[in-house]
Structure 1
Amino acid sequence: MPTAARLIAAAVFLAVAYVAAELFKPGLPPETQFGWFAPICAAAGFVVGWAVMGGLAGRGYLPAAGSGLRTSVTIVFWVLLGFSVREMILRSIRMRYDGVFDAIEGTFDIMLDYGLALLRPEPLVALAIGGVLGGLLVEWGNRRWR
């Protein structure tokens, strides 16, 4: 059911995911072609913000800060998984895997590589601060327009 908290959460975490994606780009090799990377991350932020943070609103400000962090971590998980599965499919088309289980294992290897590339201060700080402030903003909006 649409609520003010869900709408605010979707908008805030769309922005958090977009900013974090843009801050993630400089840590990768210069020849990397990003295409729709930031908009896809923003879409994931919208969906996860709506589903996760929007549903956790109304429990108080301190839990909201934690829920905001949880939402940021959830966004990172789904984005890493989605782009890892995409990369695994591209590699399997090029016959880089011996079988299905190699491809599944390769997905998690790729996910780990992408996760290690994320371990830079800029995107992590954006996700942490954006998550906490986003959670507090969603809680405020929930109380304001309940």
Structure 2
Amino acid sequence: MPTAAKLMGALAFAMLAFFTAEIAKPHMPESTNFGYMSQVAALVGLACGWMVMGPIAGRGYYRSFGSGMKTAVVTAAWALFVFAFEEMLQQTLRNIYDGPMEAVVDVARLFIEFGAYLLFADMLAVLLIGGGLAGMLTEWAAKRWK
């Protein structure tokens, strides 16, 4: 059932994911084709904000900060999986893999490779502090429009 907390969580984490993707771009190689990276990250953030943060809002501001950080980490993990899977599909179309199992296993390697870009200090700060603040914003909406 739609609630104000789910809507606010979806919007807050969509914005957080979008800006986190934008901050990641300078850390990546110059030859990287970003395509719709920020928009896809925002879509993942929208879904995670609605499904992860939205239902657990309403338990207090202190807990909402931690829940927001958890939701930000979940959003980052799903976004990394989506990007790794998309890269695997592109490499499959170029006939890089010898078989389907090699392609599936390569998703894990790509996930870890892309995840290394999250280990920069500015990325971690935006992701964790921004996640906590987005969680508190979701909590505010839950209390305001209960």
Q: What TM-score results when the alignment is normalised by the length of structure 1?
A: 0.96
Deviation (angstroms), 1:123: 1.7
Distance 1:131 1:117 in 2: 18
Distance 1:62 1:101 in 2: 44
Aligned to 2:22: 22
Distance 1:110 1:57 in 2: 33
Aligned to 1:105: 105
Does the 8 Å CA contact 1:20/1:124 hold for their aligned counterparts?
Answer: no
Aligned to 2:87: 87
Report 1:39-118 matches (<5 A): 39-118=39-118
**Where in structure 1 are there 5+ consecutive unaligned residues?**
none
- Deviation string 1:20-79 (CA, Å, 9 cap, x unpaired) is 000000001112121111111111111110111001111122221111011101111111
Distance 1:32 1:98 in 2: 25
Q: Which runs of 4+ in 1 moved over 3 A?
A: none
| CA RMSD in angstroms, aligned pairs only | 1.0
**Where in structure 2 are there 5+ consecutive unaligned residues?**
none
Distance 2:52 2:33 in 1: 30
Aligned residues with identical type, % of pairs: 40
- Amino acid in the other structure paired with 1:23: I
Aligned to 2:136: 136
- Amino acid in the other structure paired with 1:63: R
Deviation (angstroms), 1:134: 0.8
